[in-house]
Amino acid sequence: MTDEKIYKAHVKTDEQGNTIDIQTVKQHNEDTAKLAEEFAVPKLKGIVGAMGLLHDVGKYQPSFQRKIDGAALQVDHSTCGALAAKQEYGKSLGLMMSYCIAGHHSGIPDGEAAPNDTPDMPTLRGRLQKELEDFSKYKSEIRLPQLDEREFQVYLSSDCTTGDQVIEKFAFFTRYCFSCLTDADSLDTAEFTSGKTERSLSADFEACLERVNSRLAAFTPKTDLQKTRAVLQNQVFEKSELDSEIYLMNMPTGSGKTLCSIKFALERAIKTGKKRIIYIIPYNSIIDQTAEEFSSLFTGCADILRHQSTFSYDELDDTKDSSKGYGEIAKLAAENWDAQLIITTAVQFFESIYANKRGKLRKLHNMADSVLVFDEAHLMPRNYLQPCLRAISYITKYLNSEAVFLTATMPDFKSLISQYAMQNSKIADLVSNTSEFYKFNKCSYVNIGEISEESLITKASLSPSSLIVVNSRAQARKLYQACPGKRYHLSTYMTAFDRKRIIDEIKLELQKLEKDYPNLENVPDDRRITVVSTSLIEAGVDLDFYCVFRELSGLDSILQSGGRCNREGKRKNAEVFIFTLEGVKIPSQDERANITKGLINRYQDISCPESIAEYYESCSS
């Protein structure tokens, strides 16, 4: 009587290369299936569980077993599981599972390049035609669940009115299931090879909410503007019990949007039992400021995961009493967003939905059961608005999440979501009374037309502090070099460290200027401050200038620049000057700038609600 053959999925060795533990294919597949099911929403648990059971059945091939024993072989084991899924389940279910399993290492493959794809092609159709070794042993070791193809097809076609919508929904569910599978596979493999590792960051949402409430309670409204800010914020807070999928939070610059939005997100998370809050921000420069504010506010009650390309946890000192330092834990948590309070960029967020590689898509399943806050939502990439809005509508409708769109210049998102995403998305306005928005108009917008670089610099230098925002990095650098007195330059070419350092320095100089020269009168030339920047400064950067100069661009960009002028409303008659530079033509394809040019000719106040509404309507038509 011979021993039953052991089919190995992973082998653990000591420093001398001796085997000290073996994880069988059966054990790894079953553990992966269990974990993937835990990740998935109820409707898809059985499907991702079956994927987990099949994903590594290709390791039953004799060549793979020789490879794991030390033979120098290249073995395709992923295609076997994809083929098995197609044979076991067929049709829509089998196809979706085949995409996920075939790509669980290399990434989701294309469906087909042509109807006659051949086995040497990397498409799914091509790979499923490859000659594979016998891997049928899985049938005697792994018990597969029965899945209802008809039930899945009904779920897939619900809320869809066209065939294209069904295809897009199928693609989203494929990426979501792929996320559940690949994260489960990665975690189970890592636990076997390295042991159980602390890799998650936690937060006490109730304690965080207490901190926010204490901060808000410390503000005593005194001025008319401060009282209006409190009334506006209360409109939002009064609707925290309102159940919806997407919330629109339209609040003017200076109305306390960040604190208001995190309070609303915390209240919704507590009420509905959400697992995490994800704060999505368009620019790295805004993340720097928001992360600092949240870190200061939530120290001791929340571990914040900050995920952006310009930030590295390698630079952090260990700050946790654990086997690994906080930086090491955060690096692991960033792989799959295993955290409760996350701050990230719009690029990271949407790439984690529409990518095809496991490194990106591992995070997608952790967008479920979340409150998503899109800061400066109007800055979603206009050329990709349809996929952005559709992804958000899928996540909120099918993954039990909620989204908050936060901006000072709110497009007609109700119409845009209906046009580009799903017509039956539940959308709620958190700020229904906008009658007192005018009180936040702390500056007027003046079109000064075409101006030379020299005249622009001269005009800016007459003010105690000026911000000049232009459309190109090269132009910003050129103007900066010609500026007199105290001058600063901001550009996306800068590292995150240098950008933050310069913004902090500007903020300090502006504060010194106000302290040394009350009412900013009689400021000598050598103390006058000029900052030249690209659009990175427009949103979320808490700086207050005496006047602002903005090169002609989209109305949303101009109004955001205006938010840096007389930010606290301390002065009357503050001005934002709109200009074009001599010799610099507006490209004919710059639709936003050309629309704004027309609005300037038609409206005395381009910041009025009618002008903003016409701008967004024109941009979306």
Q: For residue 318, what pLDDT band results from cuts at 50, 70 and 90?
A: very low
More confident residue, 62 or 439: 62
CA distances from 8 to 67, 80, 585 (A): 10, 16, 66
Q: Collapsing DSSP states into helix, strand and coil, what is residue 87?
A: helix
Same fold yes or no, 205-437 and 441-620: yes
Q: Is 60 exceeded by the pLDDT of residue 527?
A: yes
DSSP string, 362-413: TTGGGGTTEEEEEETGGGS-GGGHHHHHHHHHHHHHHSS-EEEEEESS---H
Confidence of residue 76 (pLDDT cuts 50, 70, 90): very high
pLDDT tens figures, 202-221: 999 999 999 999 999 998 88
pLDDT tens digit string along 239-248? Answer: 999 999 999 9
Q: What is the pTM of this model?
A: 0.86
Mean pLDDT of 12-27: 90
Residue 320 has pLDDT above 60, yes or no: no
Q: Higher pLDDT residue, 496 or 447?
A: 447
pLDDT digits (tens, 9 = 90+) for 429-445: 999 888 888 777 788 99
**pLDDT at 112 > cutoff 90:** no
Q: Where are the strands (E) in 282-386, listed by range?
A: 304-307, 341-345, 370-375
Query: What is the CA angle 555-557-560, rounded to 5?
Result: 110
- Output the CA torsion 353→355→356→361 (10° steps): -50
Nearest to 278 by CA among 333, 359, 340: 340
DSSP SS3 for 290: helix
Backbone angles phi, psi at 52, to 5 degrees: -60, -40
Q: Please provide the CATH number assigned to the domain covering 441-620.
A: 3.40.50.300
pLDDT at 323: 43
**Measured distance CA(318)–CA(328) in Å, rounded:** 8
Buried/exposed code over 26-39 (b: 16+ C-beta within 10 A; e: otherwise): bbbbbbbbebbbeb
**CATH T-level assignment (fold) for domain 205-437:** Rossmann fold (3.40.50)
Dihedrals phi, psi of 426, to nearest 5 degrees:
-85, 115
Q: Is 152 helix (H, G, I), strand (E, B) or coil?
A: helix
Task: Give the residue extent of every domain in the chain.
Answer: 8-194, 205-437, 441-620
| Residue 2, pLDDT score | 45
What stretches of 312-377 adopt beta strand conformation (E)? Answer: 341-345, 370-375
> In the predicted model, is pLDDT for residue 191 greater than 90?
yes
Instruction: Give the pLDDT of residue 539.
Output: 63
Query: Looking at the predicted structure, is the pLDDT value of residue 502 above 80?
Result: yes
Contacts 24+ apart (CB under 8 A), 508-517: 510/465, 510/543, 510/544, 510/545, 513/464, 513/465, 517/464
Kindly report the backbone phi and psi dihedral angles of residue 156, in degrees, each rounded to the nearest multiple of 5, phi listed first.
-65, -40
* Phi-psi category of residue 520: left, alpha or beta, with phi > 0 → left and psi -120 to 50 → alpha: left
DSSP letter for each residue of 118-148: -TTSSSHHHHTTS-----TTHHHH-PPPP--
Give the containing element (helix H, strand E) for 469: strand 465-469
Q: Which two tokens stand for residue 434?
A: 């906008």
Binned at pLDDT 50, 70 and 90, residue 379 comes out as confident
Greatest mean pLDDT among 92-101, 323-332, 569-578 lies in 92-101
Mean pLDDT of the chain: 89
Using 50, 70 and 90 to split pLDDT, how confident is the model at 322?
very low
d(CA 152, CA 155): 5
CA distances from 221 to 113, 215, 217, 555 (A): 64, 13, 10, 31
Predicted confidence at residue 430, as pLDDT, reads 94
Residue 390, pLDDT above cutoff 80: yes
With pLDDT > 70 as the criterion, what percentage of the chain qualifies?
A: 96
Structurally, at CATH architecture level, domain 8-194 sits in: Orthogonal Bundle (1.10)
Q: Which whole number is the average pLDDT over 223-234? A: 84
Stretch (H or E) spanning 530: strand 529-533
Tokens of 186: 């990665």
Separation CA 407–CA 247 (nearest Å): 11
Is 367's pLDDT higher than 60? yes
pLDDT of residue 589: 63
Find out whether 490 and 536 touch, Cβ atoms under 8 Å. yes
Largest CA distance in the chain: 101
Closest CA to 92 of 14, 151, 41: 151
Question: Edge-to-edge strands of the sheet including 575-581?
Answer: 444-451, 575-581, 547-551, 465-469, 529-533, 486-490
3-state secondary structure of 556: helix
Residue-level pLDDT at 321: 42
**Which of 26-35, 312-321, 412-421 is predicted least confidently?**
312-321
What local confidence, expressed as pLDDT, does residue 556 receive? 86
